[in-house]
Amino acid sequence: MRNWHDHIKRHLLIWSGVALFGFLIGQLLWALLILAIIYTLRNYYQLHRFTLWLNSDQRKQPSEPPESYGIWGDIYDGIYRLQKQERSSSAHLENIINKAQESSAALEMAVIMINQHDNLDWWNKAAEKLLGFKFPQDKNQSINNLIRNPKFHDYFYNENYAEALVMEAPGDANKVLEFQIALFGEHERLMIVRDITQLQRLARMRKDFVANVSHELGTPITVIKGYLEAIIDNQDSLDKKWHKPMQQMRQQSMRMENIVRDLLLLSSLETKTPPRNRQEINTTALVREIENDTRQMFTDKSHTIRIDCASDAVISGKRNELYSAVSNLVVNAAKYTPANGEITVRTYFTDESFIIAVSDNGIGIEAHHIPRLTERFYRVDVSRSSDSGGTGLGLAIVKHILARHDAELVIESQYGKGSEFRCEFPLARVSKVDQAIAADNQSAETAAAR
Ligand code: ADP
């Protein structure tokens, strides 16, 4: 602002000086005209220098502005300062980008940026190794042309990225990759790919080891238990002091048998893929059968077991697996509810799911145990569980079976008051009995019409 005042003062001085000079020599108009022409020419000249300077490639070869004074000097200085600021912030940005690229190049996992048109924007070195991308040929290529796998295609477009996709590497069936996508910006995607071949191999080895050990232990335990049973059946011929140890040995061998049975079941659930040929399971009939079997197991406890099946729903899945899951819950309810307790098994529909709920008014579970209940061998009270023949594997089995039926286990409990275990099935897995009958009738009619 101060400069402007000086400029205006200086110009007023020049104009008034020239006007006075013109007046004195009697040529006022000519003097002013000549000064105006000089000003215009000078401004044209400055504009010309200015455009020349701006058009010189300032990015590649930044040059100082031409020497100038007055208002033009201020303009040059201002623009030069802005250019310098812009140069330093873009150098800073370049530095950050270089560092990000260098660090991602050092990563073992592939990092890929995909634009809103599903084309490759940028990727790191590991992406070239894991997925075979080539620079620069694959830049702007569609990701779906480069990874041609229906599983990847579904994962990419379903946009349900909460879980990672695990599949074999393109062009290398021996390699297992894990894909994880995150959306950002204007529907762009950041994709992280990890090689998990080794991890998968270790997990498989662990599962095989548990399955083999359980299998190998099965026969010795059966033999030991068989002999113990035979000895106990003839215990009259045995010294009295051996009666108690024999009973305890039989009890422990039964426990071992239960653990081996549950471990074998768990490992078969983990290794076998869910069966394709599903059965239609009438849930009311299933619940009644389980109630009957449990009642016979716990006659001494005289529980009241209520059944409230609001709708005759049919789940498509595997009957023996579902029997095992629901039975585990009902047996647990009976085990962990003191004599004369109440157990209720309810089945009902909500807007999003079909539920099989097993509730009891038993001992309940403290809140901090609940998230860990489905871990293998996790027991709230080890001695109580062992006394009642528990293995600590029951709820892990339930969780696995439900996952194979696209269902979830929800646990709610209040310590000292009771618990509720809910199996929540998606509606896509369930139909109502009358609909099933209608469908059967219709297919029978169609068959007859043929
Ligand atoms: P376990 O064979 O020991 O019963 P589970 O996996 O079936 O093993 O259950 C894990 C633990 O959860 C049990 O040890 C028990 O402490 C607790 N639990 C399961 N069901 C109930 C229930 N209905 N009421 C109270 N505690 C329960």
pLDDT grade for 447, boundaries at 50, 70 and 90: very low
Instruction: Specify whether domain 107-195 bears CATH 3.30.470.30.
Output: no
The structure tokens 């000895």 sit at: 231
Q: Can you tell me the mean pLDDT for 255-261?
A: 91
User: Is residue 433 predicted with pLDDT exceeding 90?
Assistant: no
Q: How many A from CA of 344 to the centre of ligand 1?
A: 17
pLDDT given for residue 67 in this prediction: 80
Percent of the chain at pLDDT exceeding 70: 94
Beta strands (DSSP E) in 188-274 are 188-195
Instruction: Reply yes or no on whether the pLDDT at 444 is more than 70.
Output: no
Q: Which residue's CA lies nearest to atom 14 of ligand 1?
A: 379
**Residue range 146-161: average pLDDT?**
92
For residue 34, pLDDT over 90 is answered with yes
Q: Is the pLDDT of residue 386 over 80?
A: no
The pTM of the full predicted model, rounded to 2 decimals, is: 0.66
Q: Which of 257, 303, 366, 379 to mutate to test the pocket of ligand 1 (most atoms within 8 A of CB)?
A: 379
Q: What is the model's pLDDT at position 267? A: 87
pLDDT tens for each residue of 301-350: 999 999 999 778 999 999 999 999 999 999 999 999 999 999 999 999 99
Could you tell me if 410 and 422 are in contact, meaning their C-beta atoms sit under 8 angstroms apart?
yes
Residue nearest to atom 18 of ligand 1 (CA): 332
> Ligand 1 within 6 A of 327 CB?
no
Residue 120 vs residues 102, 142, 165, 217, 222: alpha-carbon distances, Å: 19, 6, 19, 54, 60
Q: Give, for ligand 1, the residue of 259, 342, 375, 385 to mutate: max count of ligand atoms closer than 8 Å to Cβ.
A: 385
Q: How many residues does the chain have?
A: 450
Q: How confident is the model at residue 58 (pLDDT cuts 50, 70, 90)?
A: low
* pLDDT class of 443 with cuts at 50, 70, 90: very low
- Confidence band, pLDDT 50/70/90 cuts, at residue 450: very low
156 lines ligand 1 (CB under 6 A): no
The fold for domain 279-435 equals: Heat Shock Protein 90 (3.30.565)
For the ranges 151-155, 379-383, 422-426, the lowest mean pLDDT is seen at: 379-383
At 383 the pLDDT is 74
Q: Output the six-digit token pair for 284.
A: 């009311």
Predicted confidence band of residue 438 (pLDDT cuts 50, 70, 90)? very low
What average pLDDT does the segment 228-245 reach?
Answer: 89
Kindly list the domain boundaries of the chain, sorted by start residue.
2-56+63-97, 107-195, 200-271, 279-435
Of the pLDDT bands very low, low, confident and very high (cuts 50, 70, 90), residue 441 is very low
- Quick check: 75 pLDDT over 90? no
pLDDT higher than threshold 60 for residue 446: no
Under a CB-based contact definition with an 8 Å cutoff, are residues 38 and 51 in contact? Answer: no
**Ligand 1 contact, 343 CB (< 6 A):** no
Angle, nearest 10°, between helix axes 70-106 and 2-25? 150
pLDDT at 445: 42
Whether 332 lines ligand 1, by a CB cut-off of 6 Å, is yes
The three-point CA angle 88-94-98 to 5° equals 145
Q: Do domains 107-195 and 279-435 have the same CATH topology?
A: no
> Does the pLDDT value for residue 61 go beyond 70?
no
Please tell me the CATH code under which domain 200-271 is placed.
1.10.287.130
Return the best residue to mutate from 301, 332, 375, 398 for the ligand 1 pocket (most ligand atoms within 8 A of CB): 332
Looking at per-residue confidence, does 364 or 439 come out higher? 364
Ligand 1 atom nearest to CA at 385:
3
pLDDT bracket for residue 408 (50, 70, 90): very high
